[in-house]
Structures are given as C-alpha cells and as structure tokens.
Structure 1
Amino acid sequence: MTTSPVRPVLATSTAVFREGRVLLARRGKAPMKGVWTLPGGRVEPGEPLAAAAARELMEEVGVEVDLLGVSGALDIIYRDAEGVLGAHYVVVVHAALWRAGEPSVGPEAAEVGWFEPGALPEPVTDGLGDMVALAAARALQGPA
C-alpha cells in the first residue's frame, strides 16, 4: 500500500495587538498541544487569505480585528524520529489591531492571554518571537 505524498498546507495566523500587547493562545489539540502560538488555522479552498485570518480568529478565540496586512510567513515542518516528513504547513502571518470581543477558550485554544511582545510565555511555536516582532513593527504603522 502506498501513501499519498505530504503536500504543503496553506494556513494563516494573526498577531492581534491591544494596548501594545499581543494575543496568544495555548493549543488545546495536537499537534503542539500545550504550546503557545498565534491564533489561526487552515485556509479553505476558495477563501481569500484575509477572510481566513478573520474567520479563524473568531472561531478560535472570539475576537474581531482590523487587519493591517501580512507581516511574514513561516514554514512549520513535522518529521518523525527517522526524519520522515509527516506534515508541512505554510503559515502566512497577519498583523491586526483588536476591535471587539474578549478572547475566550475552546477546543483549539485551551488558554488565552495578552503578552508583551518581548516577554512571551514558554513554550512557544518555532519562530513565534520573530513573527510577533515583525507584526508589532507593522502594527506600530497603524492602518494603511
């Protein structure tokens, strides 16, 4: 029996800023259960990237934002102990300003919190600090 090759999956996440702090969610499901990250998820077929970012935020943590634009991109690649590729996600990170709603927990976000960009909790997903820094720089510029 042959298995299908692993293909990159397009996903989006959003660095939401409110009073200088960034919103993070601690993952409630595998992969990376218990790790802090930006809220986000997969882009659905036919769904514009910005719409996916806004939808995922509402589904995961219940907040509305003003999207400022893309601030970076990140590859998340999972390999097993033998080095066999298990998954590959290409995550496009948006910067945004909080508009409404208090973040809440759910199946995907076991815990949520607002953090200083330079003092993120541990553990975090690979590359999170760099993505938050890029998004913070974009957020300081404000709406285009």
Structure 2
Amino acid sequence: MIAGMYALYAWGNFFNHESGFDRHPGWLDPAVLSGERTVFDENLTILDNGPLPVDGPGTLFEVGDEQVAGRELTGRDLGGAGWSVAHIRVATDGTLEDALRITGELEETGEIFADEAPERNPLGFGEIVTTWEDDHGQWDLALIRL
C-alpha cells in the first residue's frame, strides 16, 4: 500500500451537463467553500444512501479560463464571471481506505468499471491511482495520491 494523502474526485455527464448542479449557486456558499458544510445539496448523490459529501475547499472550479480550488473563491466576487464546477472533491479523511470505502460501495452495484492502471490523469496533478466510470456514462471518478 502506498502511503500518503489521497483525494477522490467525481464528475460526469449527470453532474456537468444534465442536472445543472455544476452551476448551482449553492457552491458559492461560504460554508461550502470553507469546508464548514460538506453537504452541498441533498439531491446530489451517486448512490441511493444519501447525498454526496463534498470537500468544497478542494473542489475544482473553472472560472473564465482558469481552474481554481474552492478555497481560492472565498470572498471573491464572481458576479458576471462565467464559472462552473469541473471536478467535485469528495469529502474523505484523506486516507486510501476511506476513498476505497466510497468507491467500494459503487463497485458493489456492479454498474461501474474500475481501471487500476490508468494511462492518463484526468485531473493533471497528483499521481493517478485508479479511475472509475459507470456503465451509463453518468459519473466518472479518479483517485489520486497527492
């Protein structure tokens, strides 16, 4: 097992194109951006067992031509700026075990494919460990070692 800090990111057609969640104004709530609140919206879920816990400070936003972490948006005036959430950082304790607990629940549904030796890193930082894609093209996930 590789030691270190791990981050789990989620995105996909459902989130980024079909639901409008990627542009929901609730993402800009200071409590979400600071990490004080980990539930962005009760209806944002990957599994049926409750809302997806989000790490707002580590979630990646596209603001104009730049990609920034949520923590960098605290107090920033985005009035008139084009923004959206590119990759949700899923709230975990930073361990490999906790990230795998979440993805393990997905794998149990049998509707997700894991690539344990991905050739590319969709996030462009960290060391890519595993990626997942559901059978319906609705969700993608990536586990990286920071």
Which of the two has greater strand per residue? 1
- TM-score norm. by structure 2 comes to 0.32
- TM-score norm. by structure 1 comes to 0.33
Which of the two has greater helix per residue? 2
